Structure 1
Amino acid sequence: MLLKIEHEGVTGYGEASMVPYMGESYESATHFLSLIDWTQIRYPFNFQEIIAYLDSLTPGQPAIKAAIDIALNDIHGKISHQPCYSIYGAEPKNMPLTSYTVGIDTPEVIREKLKDAAAFRVIKVKLGRDNDKELIHTIRSVTNLPLYVDANQGWTDRKQAIDMVYWLHDQGVLLIEQPMDKDNLDGNAWLTERSPIPILADEAVQRLADMDKLKGAYHGINVKLMKSCGMYEGHQMILKARSFGMKVLIGCMSETSIATLAGIALAPLCDWADLDGPWLTTNNPFDTPMLKDGRYVLNDLPGLGLTGVKEGLF
């Protein structure tokens, strides 16, 4: 769902990518927007108060709240004549590589998907089934690029999991997201203590309030703006992770250039990035952010820096 907000003659663009497992829909997002008293949202924006106000209207629904937050950040940047990344103190020179995601599929389909990853320098692979090694062998038959792994809570046995971790380490895997069930704190902590690869919380961490219980149980977290209600709280999660000595991956759902640019603005504050939405979205209606040697190149336009907005789209 794409969102346009007009404030004092300035237009901001936001996006809600509502994946089914989060329980949001176009109908729920539309209803949420109808609840908002926009006179409560005034410039200069106090994002902490704005998120608290949105949370007071209804619990959950982080994606539509993220769309509002992203649009307001876009407006703030345009009014103050600053790119969003400058507002959040992100240095373009610190932009990490971003990965290209290959889902669970047949070897033939995986080989075809890898042909679309020519612009990327890291591949992310979804694991968590009984053919994990086959998938890795298939990828390795095509490319020797470094790998990120998302196990999608698919590992249940600690001994088998740690054996797989060491095998993946030998295969050039740089990180593993959510190896065991999000509610299995002890199991994930056990792996973290023994793993030669950083173990990251994904489904186990949605918002800032989830952070305290994760300290010591993971090496790092995956921040996704569609979970964190947008850029402000996503940034707060990055800061808190750093205070815990944890690493940070900034990830995405299936997103167009709007939400991707919001993630890119925070990416230089993170260790890794997985912001491949526009390359995996067949109907991205905007210009795709520039990618050079596997890293995004930030422009100096105020706000998000979104280009390619067509008349009549919103």
Structure 2
Amino acid sequence: MYLKTHAYNLELKNTFRISHTSRDFQPTLIVELSDGKYTGYGEAAATSYYGVTVEGMAKKILSLENVILENLHKSPEALWEITAPFLKDNSFAQCALDIAMHDLHGKRNNLPLYKMWGLSLENIPLSNYTIGIDTAEKMVQKIQEFPWPLYKIKLGTDHDVELVKELRKHTDAIFRVDANAAWTAAQAIENSVLLKDLGVEFLEQPLPAKDEKGMAEVYEKSVLPVIADESCITEADVDKCARYFHGINIKLTKCGGLTPARRMIARGRALGLKIMVGCMTESTVGISAIGHLLPLLDYVDMDGGMLIKNDIAHGVKVYDGKTHFPDRNGTGVELYENLKLSL
């Protein structure tokens, strides 16, 4: 049995800009977990916005090596509960470990995860492709370079509606808009009317997470559905979001992995919320974990593998307007052997 961590710096195809940051590379951590016969892989992307580094995640996970290996025979859910007290302040590290454990568990039970959960791949949602903030010309260029039926448009400028109008001239694709908390309530309500006429499906996180009063107004007056992202981090947020949003976007890294994400999905459904899972520009390792949740979702943002130049693994891939699942167990992930860099 062993536990290893690997560090990668994923190069993006284009500079990725949202309302509060931009980047050309995405540092990410891969956790490799073996019981001696089967090996599972998990991932969490680092982010300065949440103060998460690859080195910090790796150090925390490796400090729990004895605890993890002593309980490797248990279920992913059981290991999550055992390690949660140690990782309660590091959900990203918990996510990478939990995904690795799920992958290992599926492989040693000779089943893909979705089959272990009693799910089928019929009528699964297609991932959107994200267009980061840029000049109108460059955003149009990105659409022309990657024709796709469904785009998420990142906004948060002083000319957001004009940008969407220009993009609409060049494609009939469905648009989703993500303001990343950059608007006021008045802007969100006004923009919802204008954007609905431009073929926008919903608004994601229009206001800062702390502005619950503003979101109550937007929830009442917006002519488009509103989906929570920054407002829905952990399981405790789901009930609160039901008061101000029509749906929630769950990020595996933010909530701590597949184990809590599945509980959040179940609770969201019980509250009548639409369910989305999003990515943090992970490689195919993290994207493959999201892929097995597809039968449970209304919407999905799993375009990480499409946004990077140097993917690091085989697994669930999105291309040609479809999601392709490998004929392998667990999450279906195998690392490209020549790229392993240990921490």
TM interval, shorter chain, is over 0.9
**TM superposition score normalised by structure 2:** 0.86
Distance of 2:88 and 2:105 partners within structure 1:
25
* 1:94–1:269 contact (8 Å) kept in structure 2: no
Matched, 1:23 2:43: no
Paired amino acid for 1:215: A
1:55 and 1:141 map into 2 onto residues whose CA distance is 49
Q: CA shift at 1:4, angstroms?
A: 0.8
RMSD: 1.8
The answer to whether the 8 Å contact 2:288/2:317 transfers is no
**1:42 aligned residue (54, 66, 72):** 72
1:131 to 159, 174, 181: 159
Q: Distance in 1 between matches of 2:325 and 2:305?
A: 16
Which structure 2 residues correspond to residues 196-211 of structure 1 after superposition, within 5 A? 196-211=223-238
> Residue 261 of structure 1 contacts residue 305 of structure 1 at CA under 8 Å; is this kept in 2?
yes
2:113 counterpart residue number: 84
Greater helix content: 1
**Which of residues 216, 231, 235 in structure 1 aligns to 2:262?**
235
Give the CA deviation at 1:84: 0.9
Q: Rate the CA distance shift 1:87–1:288 in 2: closer, same or farther, 3 A.
A: closer
Shift of 1:42: 2.9
Equivalent residues in 2 for 1:287-306 (5 A)? 287=314, 289-291=316-318, 294-306=321-333
**Corresponding letter in the other structure for 1:182:** A
- Residue 307 of structure 1 and its aligned partner are, at CA, apart by 4.2
- Secondary structure of the residue aligned to 1:16 is strand
CA distance in 1, matches of 2:76, 2:332: 21
Cα shift at 1:266: 0.3
- Percent of residue pairs bearing the same amino acid type: 32
Match of 2:140 in 1: 111
In structure 2, the residue matched to 1:72 is 101
Q: Which residue of 2 aligns with 1:249?
A: 276
- Counterpart code for 2:167: I
Q: Mean Cα displacement is larger for which, 68-77 or 106-115?
A: 106-115
Q: Distance in 1 between matches of 2:186 and 2:250?
A: 28
Q: Within 2, Cα distance between the matches of 1:90 and 1:226?
A: 23
Shift, 1:278, TM fit: 0.6
| Structure 1: gaps (5+ residues) | none
How far apart are the structure 1 equivalents of 2:340 and 2:59? Answer: 21
Q: 1:89–1:177: structure 2 CA closer, same or farther, 3 Å change rule? A: farther
Provide Cα deviations, 1:78-136, integer angstroms capped at 9, x if missing partner: 01111011223332112102100001101121122113322x31011011221101210
Higher strand share: 2
How many residues matched?
Answer: 311
Structure 1 runs of 4+ with >3 Å offset = 287-293
In the aligned structure 1, how far is the partner of 2:281 from the partner of 2:126? 19
Tell me the equivalent position of 1:285.
312
Does the CA contact (< 8 Å) of 1:97 and 1:121 recur in 2?
Answer: no
